[in-house]
A and B are shown apart, each in its own frame.
Chain A
Amino acid sequence: MKITAAEALIRSLEMEGVEVVFGYPGGAILPVYDSLFHAKKLKHILTRSEQAAAHAASGYARVSGRVGVCMATSGPGATNLVTGIATAYMDSIPVVAITGQVSTSLIGRDVFQEVDITGATAPFTKHNYLVKRAEDIPRIVKEAFYIASTGRPGPVLIDLPKDVAETKIEFKYPEQITLRGYKPKYEGHPLQISRAAEAINKALRPVICAGGGVNSSGAEQELMELAEKAQIPVATTLMGIGAFPENHPLSLGMMGMHGTPYANRAVTESDLVIATGARFGDRLTGRVAGFAPKARIIHIDIDPAEIGKNVKADIPIVGNVKRVLEEILKEVHQKQPTEWNERIAELKKNTFTYDKKNKLCPQEIIEELSRRTAGNAIITTEVGSHQMWVAQYYRFIKPRTFISSGGLGTMGYGLPAAIGAKFAKPDETVINICGDGSFQMNLAEMATAVENNLSIKMILFNNQGLGLVRQLQEFYCKKRYSQVYFGFVPDFVKLAESYRIPAMRIESRDELPGAIDRLIAEKGCFLLECMVDIYENVYPMVLNGSPINEMIGG
């Protein structure tokens, strides 16, 4: 029996095991939504904007490790997805985005709601498709999921013109994929693996720098074995948070621009940096010339283009981090703690802290939350100072529990990502930590959470402005504070209540324990608004152009 390409699309998604799609309908994607109406297995979550649908899909993907799916109509629907797609791309998150498109005969004529979305997203999708023939749909969906989830994961977009979607085809889901231009390499080169193991065995002051690749390849076990076997301290990148338990004696926490002083110093003193699934981003390395000046560098990454791109690698290994570590482990010798481990313990004494001069500090709120949840929660964040404090002060112990926009730094990410996270792990506590700036970008998603009976906890740091940008202006613009204070902020408690979300506001530290109690106890959504000072800075901080061991406040 013939079915429309739109139905074939839904069937194909079901064949891929998709359970939930986040999206927003419109004219050009009508046929798809019509097919969705009859779908038995597939659940569609209507967000309040397409951007949120993309973020929810990526939050879902980050937490579950599976491909997140979002869809939108042509034109403005598609362009609203763009920020979410770019966010997923920068953090290597597997997402399939489906957009409606105007009919093929109209493409190129600037008709109503036409936009060249494959052209627009080419720079930040792993691949994209404009479907020209209806019978290609099953193959394209299969390829899209394959490309999104294999190799270095990333977003893939499928743009489906309306007339193509309405065309009837014989549905047959392909079993195989032939992509001669796409062959990710998983196994590391044996020779390079031996060289790496030898370098590790000989190193006197090794440091592991664990990136998002450890989380995405599920290599946390191997990472732990390597660290413990050879007594190597482990620093993570922002994306690598959770890959190594931060309560482990070998943990150095996060390194980089707002990293821990001991992580940054350890890397600077080290004679061997083992980068696993990390790309040496500029926020990580500081001034590249001053990065790990005494170290040889082993760089393990699945994407050959990352190797040597930012920092020169002495021992490059292209492959899946998990598999490569498994192999390296076979050749690495067991070691007892050395002088280097003593030195690390020494470095760790010089920790970072904050001044409790105000009635309530954002850092202590996160410390309290960390203590109370003991790392057993999924924490999503928005972007800003609050995000950095979460990275610094929350002790993450499990992979895929810190969900944050790293590479693109997208404000408005956290709340929709929390929604996606909750669909991925309904039984986990999901908490979004946000600033008042970021929160206002996608706060309408509270409605999505309520509508779907999701329990999403929100901790809002209200500093009446854009804290992190203000900090930048303090350092780089001689305190010329330009457009970083909000002249008006709504009553967030009442706002939450209008969404039928219970909420409370606190202003001092005495109220904190009780507030956290309530946050944890609440069954449904809850908003905790914390009044904090906009002049609270994120420290340590490495200034632009400085090497990472030169930190202010560290």
Chain B
Amino acid sequence: MKTTLSVLVENHPGVLSRVAGLFSRRGFNIDSLAVGTTENPDISRMTIVVDGDDYIVEQVKKQLNKLVDVIKVSKIIPEESVSRELVLIKVDAEPQVRSEIIHIAEIFRANIVDVSRKSMIIELTGDKDKVTAFEELLKPFGIKELVRTGIIAVNRGTKTIKIEEED
């Protein structure tokens, strides 16, 4: 089972290694981890996708909360949130298949960001399913490289995950 956690942390050096270290030493599995600053430059947000049952997720939350640099940990509910991932795919694109690839990219509203003689780089944003489906379709052409940012997510509507909020 996958759970997405949104974690607000102090924007201090070493925070990432503390969080990552916690996962490895307690045997928790991370599917993806995306990190960047927030509207407040002192605070970073980590979006972590954890693989594990309720017990594991509960432990992850509690152990994260024990880190002094962790300000807040919230669970992202899929139905009440928007989640996105950005992927860059470098795909083999000999002239004879190029238009076919472009066509697929258009259907997915993906952007072609670089074209060379034998390959192209395509940028796609979407949720996990969309990215996976896109990847599957491009596989037959030969994927040379693929980079994903990992999922980032926000709650829909007026609900926010901020430090002012007390839970």
For window 49-105 of chain B, which residues contact chain A by CB distance below 8 Å?
Answer: 55, 58-59, 62-63, 65-71
Which residue of chain B lies nearest to A147 when distances are taken between CB atoms in the complex?
B68
| Closest A residue to B64 using CB positions | A305
Q: Which chain B residues (1-57) contact chain A, with CB distance < 8 Å?
A: 9-10, 13-14, 17-18, 21, 25, 55
Q: Which of the candidate stretches A179-187, A188-196, A330-338, A521-529 sits at the interface with the other chain?
A: A179-187
User: Which of A119-127, A267-275, A345-353, A403-411 contacts the other chain?
Assistant: A119-127
How big is the A interface, by class?
10 to 19
Q: Is B113 an interface residue (CB 8 A)?
A: no
Q: How far is the CA of A303 from the CA of B164 in the complex (A)?
A: 23
Is A127 in contact with B62, judged by CB distance below 8 angstroms?
no
Do residues A181 and B25 form an inter-chain contact, with CB atoms below 8 A?
Answer: no
A132 to B12, CA, bound (A): 11
Bits for A113-157, please: 1 = Cβ < 8 Å to B, else 0. Answer: 000001100110011001010000000000000010000000000
For chain B, give the interface size range: 20 to 34
| Complex Cα spacing A118 to B58, Å | 27
- Chain A residues contacting B14 (CB-CB under 8 Å) are 118, 130
- Nearest chain-A residue to B67 (Cβ)? A181
A545 CB–B CB distance under 8 Å: no
* B137 part of interface (Cβ distance < 8 Å): no
Contact of B10 among A122, A147, A181 (CB under 8 A): A181
- Of listed A119, A181, A182, residue having the most chain B CB within 10 A: A181
Closest B residue to A119 by beta carbon equals: B17
B18 engages A308 (CB within 8 Å): no
The answer to whether A181 and B69 touch across the interface, beta carbons within 8 angstroms, is yes
Q: Which residues of A contact B146 (CB under 8 A)?
A: none
Contact B62–A122 (Cβ < 8 Å): no
A304, B66: Cα distance in complex, Å: 9
**Whose C-beta in chain A lies nearest to the C-beta of B18?**
A122
Say yes or no: A305 contacts B71, CB within 8 Å: no
| Interface check A309, CB cutoff 8 A | yes
Residues of A within 8 A of B63 (CB): 305
- B residues near A119, Cβ cutoff 8 Å: 17
Instruction: Return B38 CB to nearest CB of chain A, in Å.
Output: 13
Q: Are A123 and B25 in contact (CB under 8 A)?
A: yes
CB distance A303 to B18 under 8 Å?
no
B163 at the interface (CB under 8 A from A): yes
| CB proximity of B62 to chain A, nearest CB, Å | 4
A173-230 residues with Cβ-Cβ distance < 8 A to B are 179-182
Compute how far the CA of A305 lies from the CA of B28 in the bound complex, rounded to whole angstroms: 14
A309 touching B71 in the complex, CB below 8 Å, given contacts A119-B17, A123-B21, A181-B10: no
The 0/1 profile, CB within 8 Å of B marked 1, for residues 83-123 of chain A is 00000000000000000000000000000000000110011
**Residue among A122, A305, A308, A309 with the highest chain B CB neighbour number at 10 A:** A305
The answer for the CA separation of A180 and B69 in the assembled complex, in Å, is: 8
Cβ contact within 8 Å between A127 and B68 = yes
Q: Which residues of chain A are near B58, meaning CB under 8 Å? A: 308
Q: Is the CB of A305 within 8 A of B17?
A: no
Whether the Cβ atoms of B65 and A305 lie closer than 8 Å is yes
| Cα(A303)–Cα(B70), bound, Å | 15
Most chain B CB within 10 A, of A126, A132, A182, is at A182
Q: A180-B163, A305-B62 are in contact. List 4 more A-B contacts (CB 8 A).
A: A122-B17, A181-B71, A305-B63, A305-B65
Which residues does A use to contact B, with CB under 8 Å?
Answer: 118-119, 122-123, 126-127, 130, 132, 147, 179-182, 303-305, 308-309
Residue contacts A-B, CB under 8 angstroms, 20 given: A118-B14, A122-B17, A122-B18, A122-B21, A123-B21, A126-B68, A127-B68, A130-B13, A180-B10, A180-B71, A180-B163, A181-B9, A181-B10, A181-B69, A181-B71, A182-B68, A305-B65, A305-B66, A308-B55, A309-B59
